[in-house]
A and B are shown apart, each in its own frame.
Chain A
Amino acid sequence: MKHPKCSALVVALMLLTNVFAQAAAVIGNDNEEKFLDSIMSIQEVEVVANKRPEIIRPQTLAGADLQRLNSRSVADALRYFSGVQLKDYGGIGGIKTVNIRSMGTNHVGVFYNGIQLGNAQNGQVDLGRYSLDNIEAISLYNGQRSNIFQSAKDFSSSSAIYINTKRPHFADGKNYRVSVQMRTGSFGLANPSVVWDQRLTDKISMSANAEYTYANGRYKFRYTRKQLDGNIAYDTTATRQNGDVEALRTELGFYGYLANGRWNLNGYFYTSERGIPGAIVNNVFRRGERQWDKSAFGQGAFEKKFSDLYSLKVSGKFAWDYSRYLRDDPKELYLNNHYYQKEAYVSISNLFNITDWWSASAAADLQWNTMDADLTDFSYPTRWTQLAAIATAFNYKRVSLQASLLGTFIQESTRSRKLYTASPNKRELSPAAFFNYRPTGSDRFEIYGFFKKIFRMPTFNDLYYTEIGNANLEPEYTYQYDIGFSFNRPLGHKVFDFVALKADAYYNTVKNKIIAYPTGKQFRWTMINLGRVRIAGLEVSGDVAAHIGKVNMKLHTQYTFQRARDYTNPNDTFYGDQIPYIPRHSVSVSYNANWHGWDLNYSFIYTGERYNEQENNRYNYEPPWYTHDMSLSKDFKIGMVQLCIAGELNNVFNQAYEVIHNYPMPGRNFRLTAKVTI
């Protein structure tokens, strides 16, 4: 089942990149700061920040680099990060979630402008819904954001993705900025969007944006199998059906600055209707499930440095979510369910800069979640969560240390007619510790590491889903150990400007893993805490910047190795096997060149062989997949008007592949974008 050709390719790419880096390392430029700023790390403009608040740099994609990627959504962009496995059900409307370092989707905290996006129902955030249009930066933190001045929630997940939208930014002397964009392409896409930034006063500005997406979602896919003797068994091409989507997203934000502080207020509204294309199985190439979603939230944050000693941050949010699932297919049983969720959240964080090298913080959060659904015998759960975090940080010459302790207290109640009772109260203490050592005293070379123990709560579905849920579930724990280094150096060579290398080795365990367990009934499952996974991984990434004349180039390569094995029960046939959908090897390469406003981008993504179920046998084998994507864009300036035209070609070689078993991905597809900014 091995594919030597493809493994060889990966090795060759790795070697070449290596040679590339070594060749570059021999030789020195001032391009570095720019480069660092864009690809390595964009630090948030921290008005009240201590120096270097985050002692371990995240993986970040920001600004122009983010816009250039052949990515439609946040999910697509995350494919370029190390240690990330994207679950992609295919197409424009398909669900896209991420699993970081094999601990499971439910362990990933997703923060939108600093406040976590919640989904108490199933614990998953569909990252395919967040377009990149108004995004400034996406950052991925393993463990947690290593900044002690943050809400207690920021300490509460195994790994975190921060999505920050653009704060209004005005050119000199201007009080507004309007950009209008139109996209079209394969899948019948029509995707106009508009962003309007306005300066209201000296200190206050506003940003409003709206985006509409329509796509019929149709694309060709192909299944080919050969017989043992090499003859074609079957070769069939069909069109993906019922993958249409129509969505409208609107956002309004106010941003203000005050003496030693700042604040923001944001409102968000999203509404969509989509077809659920479903699994392609024998004799079923079209399904009749549809879904409607509405999501609205308002959130705000305020932070201020009151003295050299004390800073305060306050934030809050209220969110309302509605989802309707309809199965209206003459071959299936009819189903029409409505789900409603509400969430309220407030947080206060305090930072004490005791000396210029020692600081401490305390944060307290309160959250309320409730869910309603028209399921038979639904139990209408309500959850109260109190979080309290204390943390301290030392930044002393070559050494930075951070330690935090999070206390979580959860109470749940239900309103149910029959058997269901609420899950018992929970109290958990979760420690984490981070270090960063700079042997040369400069941040060009850093050695860092962390330890963290944390848990995820069972979701409302895990606990209360009619006939499946189990209210007696315990939380699922993760233990993470990580050590790594990063090296970067400006070269000032006539060709090579900059080189960077980063490597991490880690070991994680997941205990009390919540899994579905058969009950022998027709509704076959219940949820139980049974499962133990041990994950050993290695992540390496390299960056090179170079120029030839006026052509500036960048190459980013990352490789991830993961051995994530199931150690639940020695009697299981899959004991010691790799857990589902985790490849041992994955690689991404992206190359960018720009010249006089022309911008060329090429990327290659490889995901190695995987298994779609627990047993690593031939029936569950998923072959490796890889895609090549390209884009070309040109910026013009006509008077005060900035114009950008871009063309993208994805899956250049039209390869048939699946990320999830029986969910075929699109073949070659294209997209055109025109953007006008005044």
Chain B
Amino acid sequence: MKQFITYFSAIAMLAASASCERDEVLIDIEQTQVTEPVMTDVYGFYLLNEGNMGSNKASLDYFDATTGAYNLNIYAARNPTVVKELGDVGNDIMIYGNKMYAVINCSHKVEVLTPDSAQRIAQIDIPNCRYALGHKGNLYVSSYVGMAQIDPTAPRGAVFKVDTVSLAVVGSVEVGYQPEEMAIIGDRLYVANSGGYRVPDYDNTISVIDLNTFTVTDVMTIEQSANFHRIDSDSNGRLWLSSRGDYYGNKSNLYVIDPASKQVIKEMGVPVSDMWADGDTLYTISTEWSYVTGQNAVSYTKIDMATMEVLDHNIIKDGTEKSITLPYCIAVDPVTKDFYVCDAKSYVVSGTIYCFNRNGILQWKQTTGQIPAHIAFYGKNENIINHYYNE
């Protein structure tokens, strides 16, 4: 009996000691030397990894070109006091003026960070925010939902206006359904509406906002297509608009539009998942699932935006494309013209970023966070490095 009591009390004591609080520690930065240092006006770039919805695994990486080092997962270490770190689904990142903006879709916020060290300056709450664009001291952020809804069961999207000095939302304007990217020509903001959550009634419009009055002054309907995603402008004042296509045989496509006549000037016949305009050269990537082959069809193109001709259907020249499963993001270094392709693989694993030189030869590759998706170059001169810079 004594034996029994001894054993039982020993178990009880041990069990009680198991109430030890374990310390969970923030995940620190992982640094890898990936290449030789290169000194140009571009110091490096930030890569925003989306992370799966609900996983809170949005993360920020920084490639430091001046040292050749790749820094994985820098946000938590630079901002240790932010509860639950960067957040859920990183959807866009850009540097405008002397600040960096990271749009975190499912955390309903825009993180305002210092461009040199990625430390938080402020957090701006914007519900369901998607993409951001800077213009004349203001930041414009597209969102799937507006402030007040006429019909809350079929909410229209909105564009929010943020003062980049006070970092306060100073206005919002209702646009089409589930707006995505925006482009600016002159004082007009063009918003690509998708209606992606209204299957099969996709939106086929571009909302036009006059930035002087911050009101929608026009809605361009593009009859040929719907479900728009990417939009950019070229030096000839034309819009480049991508459609995701739909499930029923209308494939993803790229259109060139004259904003004055509101007409499609040219249908490029190029599917687009992501695109990046470097000057008047447009790089595109695309991944499309086929139920016929049971595989994803992947394509890469380079387009001359001035002549509206495809320059190249195979921008990777050394066979590396065979090891890229699901290209999700493309970006071009404005100085060296090196280009970067991010592979999101199965979305639920760490991605890989590939660096190619201007001739399409692999320079280096590196593991990233989950769903590597959005790149912002950081450098000496905003005019050179800011992809989003307009005017």
- Would you call A334 and B153 a contact (CB within 8 A)? yes
Judge whether A13 and B14 touch: CB under 8 Å.
yes
| With known contacts A223-B84, A333-B155, A518-B346, A16–B287 Cβ distance under 8 A | no
B144 touching A233 by the CB < 8 A rule?
no
CB of A148 within 8 Å of the partner chain: no
Chain A residue with minimal CB distance to B196?
A522
Q: Which of B4, B81, B144 has the most CB of A within 10 A?
A: B4
Q: Which of B81, B144, B273 contacts A333 (CB 8 A)?
A: B144
Q: Are B289 and A521 touching (Cβ within 8 A)?
A: yes
In the bound complex, residues from chain A placing their C-beta under 8 Å from that of B17 are: 5, 9
Task: Please measure, in the bound complex, the distance between the C-alpha atom of A333 and the C-alpha atom of B10, giving whole angstroms.
Answer: 55
Tell which of A283, A470, A528, A618 has the most Cβ of chain B within 10 Å.
A283
Instruction: A661 to B83: give the CA distance in the assembly, Å.
Output: 15
Question: Any chain A CB within 8 A of the CB of B366?
Answer: no
Cβ–Cβ contact B24 & A623, under 8 A:
yes
Instruction: Give which listed residue, A223, A496, A617, contacts B350 with CB less than 8 A.
Output: A617
Interface contact A279-B350, CB-CB below 8 Å: no
| Contact residue among A227, A281, A282, A517 (Cβ-Cβ distance under 8 Å from B82) | A282
Q: A13-B14, A16-B7 are in contact. Are A227 and B25 (CB under 8 A)?
A: yes
- Point out the residue from A5, A336, A517, A617 that lies within 8 Å of B346, measured CB to CB: A517
Contact A546 to B4, CB < 8 A, known contacts A615-B350, A628-B15: yes
Is the CB–CB distance between A226 and B85 below 8 Å?
no
Interchain CB contact under 8 A, A281 and B106 = yes
Given known pairs A233-B26, A332-B128, A662-B54, the reply for A628 and B18 (CB within 8 Å) is yes
Would B25 and A228 count as touching, CB distance under 8 A? yes
Taken residue by residue from 204 to 229, chain B's Cβ proximity to chain A (1 for < 8 Å, 0 otherwise) reads as 00000000000000000000000001
Say whether A443 faces chain B, with CB atoms less than 8 Å apart. Answer: no
- B265 contacts the other chain (Cβ, under 8 Å)? no
Which residue of the partner chain, among A236, A330, A467, A614, contacts B247 with CB atoms under 8 Å? A467
Given A331-B128, A376-B200, A522-B244 in contact, is the A619-B81 Cβ separation under 8 Å? no
Contact A662 B18 (CB under 8 A): no
Q: With A234-B80, A281-B107, A330-B127 known to touch, is A573 a contact of B349 (CB < 8 Å)?
A: yes
Residues of A within 8 A of B85 (CB): 282
A186 within 8 A of B: no
In the complex, chain A residues whose CB is within 8 Å of the CB of B194:
522
User: Is there a chain A Cβ closer than 8 Å to B238's Cβ?
Assistant: no
Q: Does A572 make an interface contact (CB < 8 A)?
A: yes
Is B232 engaged at the interface, CB distance under 8 Å to the other chain? no
- Consensus secondary structure, chain B interface: loop
Inter-chain CA distance A617–B351, complex, in Å, is 13
Inter-chain contact A520/B80, CB cutoff 8 Å: no
Q: Say whether A225 faces chain B, with CB atoms less than 8 Å apart.
A: yes
Residues of B within 8 A of A652 (CB): 19
Report yes or no: A19 in contact with B291, Cβ–Cβ below 8 A. Answer: no
Contact across chains for B197 and A333 when beta carbons are under 8 A apart = yes
Q: Is the CB of A9 within 8 A of B18?
A: yes
Chain B contacts with A in 69-83, Cβ cutoff 8 A = 73, 76-77, 80-83
Given A283-B87, A466-B199, A614-B349: A225 touches B155 (CB 8 Å cut-off): no
Give the residue of B22, B88, B296 whose beta carbon is less than 8 angstroms from that of A282. Answer: B88
Please give the distance in Å from A300's CB to the nearest CB on chain B: 42
Contacts of A518 in B (CB 8 A): 296, 326, 344, 346-347
Contacts of B244 in A (CB 8 A): 521-522
Interface residues of B in 1-39 (CB under 8 A from A): 1, 3-5, 7-8, 10-12, 14-28
Which residue, B19, B273, B346, B369, has most C-beta atoms of chain A within 10 A?
B346
Residues of A within 8 A of B14 (CB): 9, 12-13, 16
Q: Convert A363-399 into 0s and 1s, putting 1 for each residue whose CB lies closer than 8 angstroms to a CB of B.
A: 0000000000000110000000000000000000000
Contact among A12, A226, A283, A662 for B25, CB-based, below 8 A:
A226
Complex CA gap A27/B273 in Å reads 74
Assess A574 versus B15: contact at CB under 8 Å? Given A6-B20, A279-B54, A336-B153.
Answer: no
Q: Which chain B residues border A623 with CB–CB below 8 Å?
A: 22, 24
Q: Is A419 an interface position by the 8 A CB rule?
A: yes
Residues of B within 8 A of A282 (CB): 56, 82-88, 104, 107, 109
Complex interface residues of chain B between 155 and 208 (CB less than 8 A to chain A): 155, 178, 194, 196-197, 199-200
B288 within 8 Å of A by Cβ?
Answer: yes
Q: How many whole Å from A97's CB to the nearest CB in chain B?
A: 17
Q: A175-228: which residues lie under 8 A (CB-CB) from chain B?
A: 223-228
Q: Does B125 contact A (CB under 8 A)?
A: yes
Query: Given A13-B15, A619-B350, list of 12 further CB < 8 A pairs?
Result: A19-B7, A233-B81, A282-B87, A334-B152, A495-B3, A520-B289, A521-B244, A573-B350, A623-B22, A623-B24, A662-B54, A662-B56
Q: Which residues of B contact A (CB under 8 A)?
A: 1, 3-5, 7-8, 10-12, 14-28, 54-57, 59, 73, 76-77, 80-88, 104, 106-109, 123, 125, 127-128, 144-145, 149, 152-155, 178, 194, 196-197, 199-200, 229, 244, 247-248, 273, 286-289, 291, 294, 296, 326, 328, 344-350, 369-370
Sample (29) of A-B pairs whose CB atoms are under 8 Å apart: A6-B18, A6-B22, A9-B15, A20-B7, A226-B24, A234-B83, A279-B56, A281-B55, A281-B56, A281-B84, A282-B82, A283-B87, A284-B108, A328-B152, A333-B145, A495-B1, A519-B287, A526-B289, A546-B4, A572-B349, A606-B18, A612-B55, A613-B349, A614-B349, A617-B350, A653-B16, A655-B19, A662-B54, A662-B55
